[in-house]
Amino acid sequence: MKLLLRGGVAAVALFVAYAAQADEEANLVINEEIEITVRTDAPEHLENLNTIYSGWVFRSSETQALQMDDFENPGMIYVDNALEAWSNVEGSEGKSCASCHGAPEDMAGVRPVYPKWNDAAEEVRTIAMQVNGCRTEQMGAEEWKYDGGDMLAMEGLLASVSRGMPVNVAIDGPAQSMWEKGRDIYYTRFGQLDLSCANCHEDNYGNNIRADHLSQGQINGFPTYRLKNAKLNGVQSRFRGCIRDTRAETYGVGVEEMIALELYVASRGNGLSVEGPSVRN
C-alpha cells in the first residue's frame, strides 16, 4: 500500500495544474448575508491537524458558486419539501412537527450539537434518530427510513436554519465512550485496500486520489446535494460509500459503529460552521 501512495504522490505533480480550478482561499457567504466559517483552528482533541477546512474549499469554483445562493443551490428544493412536511399533521396524536417545535427557525442551534447524548433514551442520538424518536413517541407516526428522501429533506431543513453557527458536539461526559469508539474506527485500516479514514482525509487532504480532489472529510455540510446523483445524501450513506471504496464490507446505516463514527467525525469539525444543505461533487 505504501507503493500505491508513493506512486500517487508522484502522480500528484501531474494533477496540481488541474486542481488549480479549485479556489482554496475563497470565502463562503450565502445569500450575501450568512457568513460561513470554512477554515479555522483545529479543535484541541485533534492532534494531527492545525487547521480544519470545510469540504467546500476543495471543490471547483463552479461547484462552490452553486452553494452561495439559496436559489442556485439545488439542495434547497428538498428543504422546501421539508418545509411543507414540517406542518403536516401525521400519526395518532394529531400533531405536526410545528405543533411542538414552532417555526423551523426556532430550531436554530439544534444541528450544531448533534450527534449528542439523549438522557431519557440513554444513548447517543443522531438527528435522524431524534426525528424518528419524535415521530414514533410524540406523534404516534411511523418512522421515516433513516437515509430516505423524507429524512434527508428534514435534515436539510434543520441544517439550513443553523447555517453559520459553529459545530459544537460534546465529546466528554456520557458521550465519551461512543466518541472514543468512533475515533478508533477512524484510525483503523479497512478493506482490501487497507485504508483508514485518516490515510486519505488526514494525511492526504488537498491531494488527488485518481481524479478526486481529497477533502478533510468534514461533515459540517451534510446533508449534501451531490452533483453525482443529483439529490441529497446523508452522512452515513457517504461513510458507506467511502468504506466500500476501500473494498471493505460496509457497516449498515444506523448501527452503533456508524453513530460512533458520525459523532467522532462531527467533532473533528468543531468550529466550522454548519453549512447544510451543501453542494459537493
Query: What positions carry a catalytic annotation?
Result: 242
Instruction: Classify 208 as helix, strand or coil.
Output: strand
7 binds other proteins (CB under 8 A): yes
Own/partner pairs, 14-21, CB within 8 angstroms, 24+ separation: 15/207, 15/208, 19/208, 19/213, 21/60, 21/61
Looking at the Cβ atoms of 46 and 77, the one nearer to other proteins is 77
229 binds other proteins (CB under 8 A): yes
> Which residues lie across from 166 on neighbouring strands?
273
72 binds other proteins (CB under 8 A): yes
Sign (positive/negative) of CA torsion 198, 202, 203, 208? positive
Question: Which 41-60 residues touch other proteins, going by CB under 8 A?
Answer: 59-60
Taking phi over 0 as left and psi of -120 to 50 as alpha, with beta for the rest, 21 belongs to: alpha
Looking at the Cβ atoms of 72 and 137, the one nearer to other proteins is 72
82 binds other proteins (CB under 8 A): no
CB of 130 to other proteins, least distance (A): 25
40 binds other proteins (CB under 8 A): no
The CA-atom distances, in angstroms, between 152 and each of 175, 198, 280 are 24, 26, 15
Looking at the Cβ atoms of 176 and 208, the one nearer to other proteins is 208
Q: Is 182 exposed, middle or buried (0-12, 13-18, 19+ CB in 10 A)?
A: buried
Looking at the Cβ atoms of 77 and 170, the one nearer to other proteins is 77
CB of 134 to other proteins, least distance (A): 24
Binding mask 181-220 for other proteins (x = CB under 8 A): -------------------x-------xxxxx-x------
Q: Alpha helices, DSSP H only, in 87-175? A: 97-101, 127-133, 149-160
CB of 243 to other proteins, least distance (A): 9
**Letter for the amino acid at 104?**
P
CB of 3 to other proteins, least distance (A): 6
Instruction: Say how many residues make up the chain.
Output: 281
Looking at the Cβ atoms of 65 and 170, the one nearer to other proteins is 65
CB of 67 to other proteins, least distance (A): 12
- Residue 93, C-alpha cell as written in the block: 396524536
CB of 18 to other proteins, least distance (A): 6
Distance CA 56, CA 64 (A): 6
Kindly list the residues in this chain that would bind other proteins in the complex (CB under 8 A).
Answer: 3-4, 6-8, 10-11, 14-15, 18, 21, 59-60, 62-63, 65-66, 71-72, 74, 77, 80-81, 200, 208-212, 214, 226-231, 238, 241-242, 244-245, 281
